[in-house]
Amino acid sequence: MAPREAKFVHRYAPAETALHRVVRSLRVVSCQEVTNAFANGQNNQTPPQTDSNEDSREPETAEETVTENEEFGNLMLAAIGSILKAYPAAASIPNMFGRTAMHLVCMDLSPARKEAALLLLEHSPQTVKEIDHFGRTPLHYVLDQQQNSITSNLSLELVRSILLHDPKALQQCDTSKETPYDLLLKQDLSGCSTALQQLLDEHREE
């Protein structure tokens, strides 16, 4: 991809770059989407259609997750790498909600989105400190979905990497005066991994 294309921001809502659009395509496949696909006579390996207004929809829970198209995910990860190589600053461009690509991958974790987040961190570690129009960093969104073991286990490596690049991330307040840790405590943590809780406790004590 040419730098000119990588830095282009679409004029219509939610005013995003190619990088935003690629990471949106890594959304998990829900039970309902698979049911609809079969009803329409489609193969469930077809990459899911992404919602251009994802920011306004309710995030899916990991319990609803059925599968991911691994081949499609690998193609999209390669596309992310190409975009960042062509224009590294693309990782820091916000959409109309103030969200970078890093925010988006952290909002609705899946195996492919976790890999995308780690790839973004490798190329642009400063994105962990970016805040959106709600005052939230990527870590806010990661810790706001720890009510089940699947998402919690996916989060461990990502949270460790985020805290490595920004040790103070747990103390960042959003516009509601809530830190990422506050959002974590508001959930039923029976499914939250012990390793993740220990990691967070260690950083809170530092």
| pLDDT the model gives residue 122 | 94
Instruction: Map out the domains of the chain as residue ranges.
Output: 3-205
Q: Residue 150 — pLDDT band, cuts 50, 70, 90?
A: confident
- pLDDT, tens digit, for every residue of 127-140? 999 999 999 999 99
Is-contact 110 28, C-beta < 8 A? Answer: yes
pLDDT value at position 31?
Answer: 38
CATH fold of 3-205 reads 1.25.40
Find tokens 């949106």 and name the residue. 24
Q: pTM of the entire structure?
A: 0.79
Regarding predicted confidence, which is higher, 181 or 39?
181
Judge whether residue 176 has pLDDT over 50: yes
Which residue from 121, 122, 115, 86 is spatially nearest to 26, judged by alpha carbons? 115
More confident residue, 59 or 179: 179
- Note the pLDDT tens digit of each residue in 62-79: 334 435 678 888 999 999
Query: Quick one: which of 54, 121, 63, 128 has its CA closest to 88?
Result: 121
At 29, phi and psi to the nearest 5? -95, 120
Q: Give the model's pLDDT for residue 151.
A: 87
The whole-number average pLDDT for the span 46-53 is 42
CA distances from 71 to 26, 65, 77 (A): 11, 17, 10
